[in-house]
Amino acid sequence: MEVAGRLLASLRRLGTRAREVIQPFVESMRARDRYFWQRSAVLGAWAALSLLAIGIARSGGAGEADNALQAYVALRDSALGWAILVHNRSDEPWVDVAVEVDGGKTYRAERIEPDQKIVLSPWQFVGEDGKPASGRAPSGVVLRVGRKVIRPPLSREGEAGDG
């Protein structure tokens, strides 16, 4: 019983000492004015939004290249005409490549290397009749690499009236 009594007395002394240390801090916090609390709230919100923004920025984002070939395809439409950007974002080269736009007009390439970008003009797309693609911007693209065929989302960069 003597051990339990000493333990209980030690815990009481510890509690008293903790109260002596914490009480001045609690009283100083109570004495803070409204301006201090508002400033603290603004800084806390800023810190939370900063962490959220960093988290969103680091969460990835190459959604346009989430396909079997890791291809990114963008259409640039301006007053001078249109062009298509094709970017191989994979680690493997593409062999026997065909890029087809509306109306069956096709551009063919033997090989596109990893991280290589090509920009294609309408006159580079040729149909079976030997005529180039029209001046009207395509609404979709079909990409064939070997036996793989995908319809990647067509990102639009600029419009005909942009200045």
pLDDT tens-digit readout, 64-82: 567 888 899 999 887 778 8
**Residue tagged 């001046």 (tokens):** 135
Question: 12-16, 61-65, 94-98, 142-146: which has the minimum mean pLDDT?
Answer: 61-65
pTM for this entry: 0.56
Query: For residue 60, which phi and psi values (nearest 5 degrees)?
Result: 115, -135
Containing 28, the helix (H) or strand (E) segment is helix 2-30
Q: Tell which CATH architecture fits domain 63-157.
A: Sandwich (2.60)
Domain boundaries, the chain: 2-58, 63-157
Strands, E assignment, 68-133? 71-78, 81-88, 94-101, 106-112, 117-120
Q: How far is Cα 71 from Cα 98, in angstroms, rounded to an integer? A: 13
pLDDT in tens, 84-102: 999 999 999 999 999 999 8
Query: For residue 98, which phi and psi values (nearest 5 degrees)?
Result: -135, 125
